[in-house]
Amino acid sequence: MAKWLAAHPDVSGLTGTGVYEDEGQHLQSVYPVALAHGGPGRFALDPAARLTEDSELITPDAAGRLLEAWVPYWDTSKPVLLEKSPPNLIRMRFLHALFPAARFIVVVRHPIAVSFATHKWSRTSIDSLVQHWLTAHEHLVEDSLEVRRVALVRYEDLLTNPEFELDRLFAFLSLPSHAGGWSVRPGLNEAYFSRFTSPRWPWRRREYARVAAAYESAVSPFGYSLLDPDSLRAPAPEIAQLAPAPRVA
């Protein structure tokens, strides 16, 4: 795999390369960064943040400008070069128009965990953050039908069986199998689930119960539940079809 922009962010959020949160969006000037649309936990709620093949930002020199910005941070001897920025989730069609050979890997995580993890950046309500998750992932599903070169893996499945899930992704990228001895840190979602299901204050309990009831049906196609967060089900067919195929022997 292409090397990440940096490995060890310091306390300021800047990496040794000076790239905020290791995100390539901060290196380029072709399209607006997430902060221009409200920042983490907000950007997907701004319709202008979603970019497609019809964007006026697609100019004859746009792809070249992006490569000029990103190449210095890549090991170009590698067979795969990686760009990871959260807004890519709603900009796959735009990036695909600029780089037709690009492939897109999406790691989906339970909306409760994502919402609480994002709260420290957004300072918005859990209700708003779940709405943001749903909006972004609705765009993901719609855009995947246009891009097609998309592989979706759930974070929870990745932790349960990292060798199987990663090998499917290596195959998706036309890379050979790699026995990495992958280690994972299980149980990270549970702390967020506990905050959602057993909040300290009664008014929080009422608020989170309302959120769970309001959005339960919307998150269920991904196999997630807000009413019973520990339950993980098989995703609906429209989501399951985005999973990468197992390697053919």
Q: Is 106 exposed, middle or buried (0-12, 13-18, 19+ CB in 10 A)?
A: middle
Of the residues 53, 83, 113, which one is the last residue of a structural domain?
Answer: 83
Residue 219 and residue 208: Cα distance in Å, rounded? 15
Confidence of residue 82 (pLDDT cuts 50, 70, 90): very high
The verdict on 143 and 215 lying in the same domain is: yes
Question: What is the model's pLDDT at position 179?
Answer: 83
The verdict on 157 and 244 lying in the same domain is: yes
The verdict on 207 and 111 lying in the same domain is: yes
pLDDT tens per residue across span 130-142:
999 999 999 999 9
What is the average per-residue pLDDT within 107-119? Answer: 97
Q: 127 in a domain, yes or no?
A: yes
Question: What is the model's pLDDT at position 199?
Answer: 87
Of the residues 51, 83, 115, which one is the last residue of a structural domain?
Answer: 83
The verdict on 16 and 78 lying in the same domain is: yes
- CA-wise closest residue to 94 among 71, 63, 73: 63
The verdict on 243 and 182 lying in the same domain is: yes
Question: What is the model's pLDDT at position 195?
Answer: 94
Domain extent for 8: 1-83
User: Per the structure block, which two tokens stand in for 118?
Assistant: 């994002």
Q: 98 in a domain, yes or no?
A: no
Residue 73: is its pLDDT beyond 60? yes
Question: What is the model's pLDDT at position 80?
Answer: 93
What is the average per-residue pLDDT within 126-154? Answer: 97
Mean of all residue pLDDT scores within the chain? 90
Residue 35 and residue 140: Cα distance in Å, rounded? 20
The verdict on 144 and 67 lying in the same domain is: no
Residue 159: is its pLDDT beyond 70? yes
What is the average per-residue pLDDT within 147-156? Answer: 96
The verdict on 20 and 56 lying in the same domain is: yes
Higher pLDDT residue, 4 or 127? 127
Residue 7: is its pLDDT beyond 60? no
Q: 24 in a domain, yes or no?
A: yes
DSSP 3-state helix, strand, coil percentages of the chain (rounded to 5)? 50, 5, 45
Q: What are phi and psi for residue 82, nearest 5 degrees?
A: -115, 135
Question: What is the model's pLDDT at position 19?
Answer: 64
Residue 240 and residue 225: Cα distance in Å, rounded? 16
Question: What is the model's pLDDT at position 18?
Answer: 56
Q: 15 in a domain, yes or no?
A: yes
The verdict on 77 and 166 lying in the same domain is: no
Q: 126 in a domain, yes or no?
A: yes
Higher pLDDT residue, 169 or 14? 169
The verdict on 113 and 49 lying in the same domain is: no
Q: How many domains does the structure of the chain reveal?
A: 2
Residue 143 and residue 8: Cα distance in Å, rounded? 32
Confidence of residue 233 (pLDDT cuts 50, 70, 90): very high
Residue 89 and residue 107: Cα distance in Å, rounded? 10
Q: 9 in a domain, yes or no?
A: yes
The verdict on 4 and 74 lying in the same domain is: yes
The verdict on 69 and 108 lying in the same domain is: no
Question: What is the model's pLDDT at position 2?
Answer: 32
Lowest mean pLDDT among 7-11, 138-142, 156-160: 7-11
Q: Over the range 95-105, which residues count as b (16 or more CB within 10 Å of their CB) and which as e? A: bbbbeeeebbb
The verdict on 246 and 161 lying in the same domain is: yes
Q: 193 in a domain, yes or no?
A: yes
Run of H or E including 154 = strand 150-154
Q: 128 in a domain, yes or no?
A: yes
Of the residues 83, 118, 148, which one is the last residue of a structural domain?
Answer: 83
Enter the pTM of the model: 0.90
